[in-house]
Every structure is written in structure tokens, then in C-alpha cells.
Amino acid sequence: MQRTVERMLRTHPEPAFAPADPLSVCIHACVECAQACTACADACIAEHDAALGPCIRIALDCADLCEAASRVLSRQLAPDLGVVSMTLQLCATVCDACAYECRRHAATYVHCDVCAAACRRCTDACRGLLATTVTTYRDRGPYAAAGHIGA
């Protein structure tokens, strides 16, 4: 689906708030991670293993926050860069926490291993986007006044 993400960015009447490459990678990573976390929470519930409680919890949070992040990042009209930056930082944090929990169970449950890898890709993509846009969009105009990416 990354090609579709890229084509939607390229055909938008407004320029993207960040370089198209790290932005499309990040949207794709958020969407992939949200799906993996929804599936992993379901798989963990089906394992009937009480030790997985915290893993299920953080996977459900991670799915919700990645999904919200993918939507915020998919919009290019009049972004509030303070909100975008905090969204990326929260997304990176929850993916980190979910990857940590999933890795603890990765030797026993392969779905936790697959999910941890998706979380790790999403953390990296969020941090990559935060790093890139600092440089490029710091003084972008009216919306930059309300905050800026990667501050």
C-alpha cells in the first residue's frame, strides 16, 4: 500500500508538511503497526496465558494511537505542527513500550515477535520523521508559529 500513500501525497493540492519519503514511510509504518497490534492482542487473548495481560493492554493502546497517528499524518491541509510533533512522539513511545512487552514473550509466541518488529519499524519511522522535519520545516509560516516538529 505504500505506493498508494505516496500517490495520495503527490496529488494533494497542498505540499506535504514534511518530505514525502520519510512521511509516506511513517504513515505506512503506523498503519502496519496498528493492524499487527490488533491481531497480536487478539492472538494473546486466545493464548489464555495470564502473563500476557500487560502485553494485551499495551497492544490495544498501541493500535488506537498508531491509527490516530496515521490519520493525523495523512492530512496536509493546515497542520498544527505542535500537535503533529506530539503525536509522533507519543506514537514512538507507545510503540517502544509495546515492542518491549512483546519481545518478552517473543520466544514463546511468534505473533509477539512479528508484532514487536512492526512496533520497532514504527518507532524508527516516527523518530526519523521527527528528525527530518526539524531541519526542513522549522519556519514554515503561520502553522509553525503554533509549534514545530521535533522541537
Nearest by Cα to 66 from 45, 44, 43, 96: 96
Q: Is 149 in the site for its own copies (CB under 8 A)?
A: no
What DSSP string runs through 18-68? S-HHHHHHHHHHHHHHHHHHHHHHHHHHHHT-GGGHHHHHHHHHHHHHHHH
- Indicate which single residue of 99, 115, 126, 149 sits in contact with its own copies (rule: CB under 8 A): 115
Alpha carbon separation from 100 to 51, 53, 120 (Å, rounded): 14, 14, 9
CB 43 to its own copies: min, Å: 5
In the stretch 18-57, what mask flags binding to its own copies with x, by CB under 8 A?
---------xx--xx-xxx-xxx-xx-xxxx-x--xx-xx
CB 19 within 8 A of CB 136: yes
CA dist., res. 113 & res. 143, Å (int):
40
Q: Does 9 bind its own copies (CB under 8 A)?
A: yes
Contact status: 17 vs its own copies (CB under 8 A): no
Q: Is 87 in the site for its own copies (CB under 8 A)?
A: yes
Decide if residue 102 touches its own copies (CB under 8 A): no
Q: Does 141 bind its own copies (CB under 8 A)?
A: no
24 neighbors 9 (Cβ within 8 angstroms): yes
Residues near its own copies, by CB under 8 A: 1-2, 4-5, 7-9, 11-14, 27-28, 31-32, 34-36, 38-40, 42-43, 45-48, 50, 53-54, 56-58, 60-61, 63-65, 67-68, 70-72, 74-80, 82-83, 86-87, 89-90, 93-94, 97, 109-111, 114-115, 117-118, 143, 146
